[in-house]
Structures are given as C-alpha cells and as structure tokens.
Structure 1
Amino acid sequence: MSDLPAVPDPREMRVSNADRERVAKVLNDSMAEGRLTVNELEERLDKVYAAKTFGDLEPLTRDLPAGNQARAAAYPQPAPSRVNRVGGRGTSATAIAIMSGTDRKGVWTVPPTFTTVALMGGVEIDLTDARFEDAETTIQAFAMMGGIDIYVPEDITIQVNGTGFMGAFENHAQDQAQPRPGAPLVRITGLALMGGVDVKRRKPRKQKNKPKEIEE
C-alpha cells in the first residue's frame, strides 16, 4: 500500500492568471460601489498581480462584503471529487494479458506513465477509485488481437489520442482540451492492431464499504 500525503493547505497553492483576474474584478467592482478609493484599488491591484499563492490573494478581499464571490476569488475551485486523488507512490506500472485476462481496479495509485498490453487477451483498467502519483498521467494502451477497456469517472479530465489499424481505438467519453482546476489529467494513447481499445465514462457509485488496496 502507498502512503497518502496530507491534503495541502489551499492557501499554499500557486495561482494562475485567471485566479488573479477574478480577484481583480472583485476589487474593481468594490471601487465602483464606493467601498475602495482609487488609490486603495491601485495598491491592492499591484499586490494581486504580484501574488504567487492563494494565501497572498485572500487578505485583499477579506474586508469586502462580496460574500461568495470574494471567497470564490480567493481560493481555487476544484472539480467535484469524492477524494483528493493526487499523491502517493504508484502501486502498479503495467497490466499485461497474453492469451488471458487481467485488470487494475479498486483503490490503487497510478504512476505518471502506465502501460497496458492485450495480446489475444483482455484488460480492464478502472480509474473510478484510483489515485494518481502526479497531476498528469499517461496511459499507453496496446491491443493486438485483444481488447482493452478503460473506465474513467466524471471527476477526471481525459485526452484520448490513440490509433486503430484494422481495429478500433474508441473514445466514448467526452474529451476536454484543458484540465479543470483540481482534476487529474489522464492522457490515453497507443495502438489497436486488429483489436480494440475502448475508453468509457463511468459515473460515481455509492460505496458501502471502503475498498481494499490492490497489491501485485
């Protein structure tokens, strides 16, 4: 089993240009409402565009009664997720089926690069309860006269770019060109040669019992 790190303080996370612009809008609106003077606005905007973390941004709207808008501007808004998915050490780097079948599912940690091969066999990769060692992961899928099914939940961003030759590399989930804030990005690539790779979206299911960690 992998050691899971503590959830990081959101104030220590790095901000993006879009995060700075959201705070700047709150400040500009507050100045228009008469809550800030022009000099105060200029002083705070200088701090906004110099900010590196969300902790730097939070004090700039703390005294403004902007409600949810100010709080949303001060902290990152992660995609809905049942768990913090990023962190830990990869527990399995490959899934290979030669004239047989294998799977990776349940609670497991995916390394930055994961390779799966189906040679006249079948592989099932289920990311529903998976964690990820890094925020960005590449799954290389190669199916030769075999089949690979990859299930991804709704709170994971995917990019599928595989090739089918006398076979099919199919994406039945919606691609997103840009990852959503807080959501792991999984790139799925590879080759289906007289075989099939099928990427499917799986909705979250209710968990009655905590699943066990997969060990090789």
Structure 2
Amino acid sequence: MPAEPAVPAAPAVPADPAGAIRASDADRDRIADILREALAEGRLDAEEHSDRIDAVYRAKTVGELEPIVRDLPAGASDARPPRRQPASYTYGPELPDGPTENLVAVFSSSTRKGRWRVGGRTQAFSLFGSIEIDLTEAMFGQRLTVINATSIFGNVEVRVPENISLRGSGTGIFGNFEVDTLEAADPEAPVVVVNGYSVFGNVEAKPKRGKRIADLHDRLRKHLGR
C-alpha cells in the first residue's frame, strides 16, 4: 500500500511585531486617557485606576500597554465629544504640550515656585545639588504633567496642591525615591506623575497640606474683577 504523501507543516505564525515596538509618551498618554474615562464612568474604582496608571508608566513596549485596557471600551474617548470643563478649572488640554523645561543643579540649587504656568514635561537633574519644584500656586496649562527626576548625591523635592492626583514610579539605589500617591476626588483634576531614580540621593514628591488649586483660581478671579 503506497505511503500517503506527507502534509507540509503549517508555517509558524510570527509574533506580532507591533507589540514589540517601544512605547512612546504619546502611547502612554493615550492609554492614560482611556483609564481616566473608565474611572469617570465607574468602570474602575480609584484603587484599580491607580494600579493601572502605575503599570502604564512602567510599560516599555506597546505590547505591555494593550492588556491594561483590554477589558475597557478603548474607543470611548474618541467616540464622544470632549467633555466641557467647568469654568473654575485653571488648566487646559488633557495631554502634555509645549517644550520640556530643564532644571539642573550641579553643586548648586535650583528652585521653581510661585505663580507660574507649568509645562507638560519637566526634566530635573541634581548632582551634589538641590532642586525644589513647588506646584502649589502653579497654573496648569494641561491636565497631565510629567516630571522626570534624577538625583545623584543630591536632592529633588516636588510639592503639589492637596486636591490634585499625584502618581509616580522610580528607584532608589542607596538612596530614597518616595512619591506619596494621591487621588483627587474630582476625576477631572490635574494629574502630576513623577518618575525617575536616585543614587545616594533623594527624590521626594508630596502634597502640601492646606494648599489647593482652587485657592489660586479664586485669587485670579478677584484680580481680574470677575
């Protein structure tokens, strides 16, 4: 009885190359926007939202981002018209925009505080120096503000109003990296994300009790006569 012809093996399906692409800031911002919508709609509670946001800013590739929103309606933020922001808000677009601000302290100190319009991204680098970033009276030009902090034998301190969201992810190597995670009651409140690392140094981000973003807005309205 003649042998049956061998059936050629099916070609191996290559892994999706798109998933291996390094994630950009825009990719992370897109996922963060989907999570924000899910929190506002009650699909996620505050703890789940915080956990997933942390995963977003730790993700290195597009493939790591996709599972974070796999169980959410990813197109929701694009399908509906933009939500109108109440007039009391002093910040604007959802995503970081404008140029990156650089703060450098090498055997010196650098301070950014007072009434100023904070940009979407700030790079803070301290080498045997000290950097203070005080956002308690800042005017947010966008909803998401990202601060990348590096401290080597130095110190970087970030202070924010107590009624915004504060998140972060980093590493301390023979040093301290500490972010006091904070979730605002208002899902539309500004979000400050502090990422980075310290080597024999200190990176610290905390809310400043008694300082609220609404306080600044009230003062601005009085100043403008509104």
TM, length-normalised to structure 2: 0.52
Q: Give 5+ residue unaligned stretches, structure 1.
A: 1-15, 22-50, 56-74, 211-216
Q: Is contact 2:39-2:187 (8 Å) kept?
A: no
Q: Partner of 2:80 in structure 1?
A: 52
Q: Is contact 1:90-1:132 (8 Å) kept?
A: no
* One of 136, 140, 144 as aligned partner of 1:128: 136
- Greater RCO (CA < 8 Å, at least 6 residues apart): 1
- Alpha-carbon separation, structure 1, partners of 2:145 and 2:103: 15
Shift of 1:156: 1.6
Q: Give 5+ residue unaligned stretches, structure 2.
A: 1-36, 43-78, 221-226
Shift of 1:86: 3.0
Q: Partner of 2:114 in structure 1?
A: 106
Shift of 1:110: 2.1
Aligned-residue sequence identity (percent) comes to 30
Q: Return the letter of the residue paired with 1:137.
A: T
Q: Is contact 1:96-1:118 (8 Å) kept?
A: yes
- Alpha-carbon separation, structure 2, partners of 1:96 and 1:18: 36
Please give the residue correspondences for 1:1-216 in structure 2 after superposition, counting only pairs within 5 Å: 52-53=80-81, 84-86=90-92, 93-171=101-179, 173-176=180-183, 180-202=186-208, 203-204=210-211
Shift of 1:151: 0.3
Shift of 1:143: 0.5
Shift of 1:185: 1.1
Aligned length: 143
Q: Return the letter of the residue paired with 1:182.
A: E
- Alpha-carbon separation, structure 1, partners of 2:104 and 2:195: 16
- Alpha-carbon separation, structure 2, partners of 1:200 and 1:155: 12
Question: Mean alpha-carbon deviation: is it higher for 189-198 or for 131-140?
Answer: 131-140
- Alpha-carbon separation, structure 1, partners of 2:197 and 2:38: 37
| 1:106 match: secondary structure | coil
Q: Partner of 1:32 in structure 2?
A: none
Question: Mean alpha-carbon deviation: is it higher for 141-150 or for 109-118?
Answer: 109-118
Shift of 1:170: 1.2
- Alpha-carbon separation, structure 2, partners of 1:20 and 1:98: 46
- Alpha-carbon separation, structure 1, partners of 2:100 and 2:146: 13
User: After superposition, what is the alpha-carbon deviation per residue over 1:157-185, rounded to whole angstroms, capped at 9, x for unaligned?
Assistant: 111111100100012x3333x98422111
Q: Return the letter of the residue paired with 2:151.
A: A
Shift of 1:132: 2.6
- Alpha-carbon separation, structure 1, partners of 2:39 and 2:169: 28
Shift of 1:133: 3.0
| 2:193 match: secondary structure | strand
Root-mean-square deviation (CA, aligned residues, Å) is 3.7
TM, length-normalised to structure 1: 0.54
Q: Is contact 1:86-1:131 (8 Å) kept?
A: no
Shift of 1:52: 3.4
Q: Is contact 1:117-1:142 (8 Å) kept?
A: yes
- Alpha-carbon separation, structure 1, partners of 2:173 and 2:40: 43
Q: Is contact 2:99-2:121 (8 Å) kept?
A: no
